[in-house]
């Protein structure tokens, strides 16, 4: 049982020490979690979405608990790319962990401007372009639900960055595989999926929606089977690596995503339940492999037996 497991995986040219990432928007820039765990045990930190200018986000209430999950309509609140670089990135530079910056925008030009600003920042290991946020009126998910729009954003950002480029896909589509193919064709190095599913909850005392915005994004265990299915479909449609997410709470959940075809996984809502969950999953994944005589964690990717 003393066998060592090779936990390294690759997302394009980016090598990660293990396949466990944080899901954007659920781990801020890691600072708050550094009190609970060594961030160096992560494959990478994926930051909250960063836009060109500061965004205040949506009105409250913007979180509602649901059976096996949560609804959020935060709306990509963030301080803007300049403040992000001056504060979060400076702090992240002191940590020995790859940083993947989640990029958001209201327009193609805005995505491009953020990517251009980040290009000279050596602390940024890769970009994750969010074309799937359900909580903004302009941009966001609008880019991720049409092949031409998804292709246009990817092409435009690809033109201004040499960093590994990951595109985050929306589950709120009829055929996620065709969107994945469209962004792969425009030079994406990886895709990540899924973002939240559009949902709604209504308070039966007040007859009002539980979220001020009425609708929001559903995350957590409730969405996991949908996410696993989508990872599996995308895995057979593209050759680029997939970062799978949606309701991962345990080592077994992470393994399931890898078996479906994910090269790496991201953990989101579970961080709100247990701030050390990512460390537990990273360590548990190694134990899982060792216990089964698996030498390289990458062997799990796509290993589902049909
Ligand atoms: C509170 C909250 C904020 C989020 N913010 C972002 C974001 O800024 N950018 C993004 O691409 N995804 C964002 N997401 C989506 C998550 O990264 C993830 O795709 C989704 O929640 C599914 O994973 P989970 O079920 O493990 O949470 C957010 C999710 C939550 C719950």
The predicted structure's pLDDT at residue 1: 53
pLDDT in tens, 8-35: 999 999 999 999 999 999 999 999 999 9
Tokens of 59: 């009105």
Q: Which CATH class is domain 9-57+76-196+220-300?
A: alpha beta
Q: What are phi and psi of 27, to 5 degrees?
A: -140, 10
The pTM of this model reads: 0.97
Q: Is residue 195 lining ligand 1, measured as CB closer than 6 Å?
A: yes
Question: Mutation test of ligand 1: which of 126, 167, 222, 269 has the most ligand atoms closer than 8 Å to its C-beta?
Answer: 269
Q: Is residue 48 lining ligand 1, measured as CB closer than 6 Å?
A: yes
pLDDT in tens, 55-112: 999 999 999 999 999 999 998 899 999 999 999 999 999 999 999 999 999 999 999 9
Low-confidence stretches of the chain (pLDDT < 50) are none
Query: 61: cis peptide before it, omega within 30°?
Result: yes
The predicted structure's pLDDT at residue 2: 61
Q: Is residue 168 lining ligand 1, measured as CB closer than 6 Å?
A: yes
Tokens of 182: 């469209």
The predicted structure's pLDDT at residue 135: 67
Q: What is the DSSP string of 106-153?
A: SSHHHHHHHHHHHHT-TTEEEEEEE---TT-SSSGGGGTSSHHHHHHH
**What are the sequence ranges of the domains in the chain?**
9-57+76-196+220-300
Q: Contact at 8 Å (CB) between 101 and 85?
A: no
Which amino acid residue places its CA nearest to atom 23 of ligand 1?
Answer: 246
Work out which ligand 1 atom sits closest to the CA atom of 46. Answer: 17
Q: Is 10 helix (H, G, I), strand (E, B) or coil?
A: strand
Q: Is residue 247 lining ligand 1, measured as CB closer than 6 Å?
A: yes
The Cα 75–Cα 228 span in angstroms is 25
Neighbours of 131 (CB within 10 A): 29
The predicted structure's pLDDT at residue 75: 86
The predicted structure's pLDDT at residue 141: 74
Asked about 289 being catalytic, the answer comes back as: no
Give the bridge partners for 287, in sequence order: none
The Cα 164–Cα 36 span in angstroms is 29
Cα of 26 to ligand 1 centre, how many Å? 6
């Amino acid at each position: 049982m003393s066998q060592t497991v090779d936990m390294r995986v690759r997302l394009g040219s980016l090598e990660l020490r293990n396949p466990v990432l944080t899901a954007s928007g659920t781990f801020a820039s890691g600072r708050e979690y550094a009190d609970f765990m060594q961030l160096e045990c992560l494959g990478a930190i994926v930051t909250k979405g960063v836009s060109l200018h500061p965004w205040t986000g949506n009105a409250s209430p913007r979180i509602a608990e649901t059976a096996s999950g949560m609804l959020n309509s935060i709306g990509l609140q963030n301080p803007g790319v300049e403040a992000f670089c001056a504060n979060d990135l400076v702090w992240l530079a002191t940590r020995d962990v790859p940083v993947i910056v989640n990029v958001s925008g209201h327009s193609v030009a805005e995505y491009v401007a953020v990517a251009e600003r980040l290009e000279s920042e050596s602390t940024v290991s890769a970009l994750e372009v969010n074309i799937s946020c359900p909580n903004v009126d302009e941009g966001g998910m609008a880019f991720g639900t049409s092949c031409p729009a998804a292709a246009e954003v990817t092409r435009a950002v690809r033109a201004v960055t040499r960093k590994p480029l990951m595109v985050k896909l929306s589950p709120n589509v009829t055929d996620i595989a065709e969107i994945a193919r469209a962004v792969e064709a425009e030079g994406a190095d990886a895709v990540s999926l899924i973002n939240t599913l559009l949902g709604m909850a209504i308070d039966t005392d007040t007859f009002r929606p539980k979220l001020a915005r009425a609708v929001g994004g559903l995350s957590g265990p409730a969405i996991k089977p949908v996410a696993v299915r989508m990872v599996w479909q995308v895995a057979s449609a593209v050759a680029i690596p997939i970062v799978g997410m949606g309701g991962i709470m345990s080592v077994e959940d992470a393994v399931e995503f890898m078996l479906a075809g994910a090269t790496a996984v991201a953990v989101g809502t579970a961080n709100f339940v247990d701030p050390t969950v990512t460390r537990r999953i990273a360590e548990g994944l190694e134990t899982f492999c060792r216990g089964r005589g698996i030498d390289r964690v990458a062997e799990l990717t796509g290993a589902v037996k049909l």
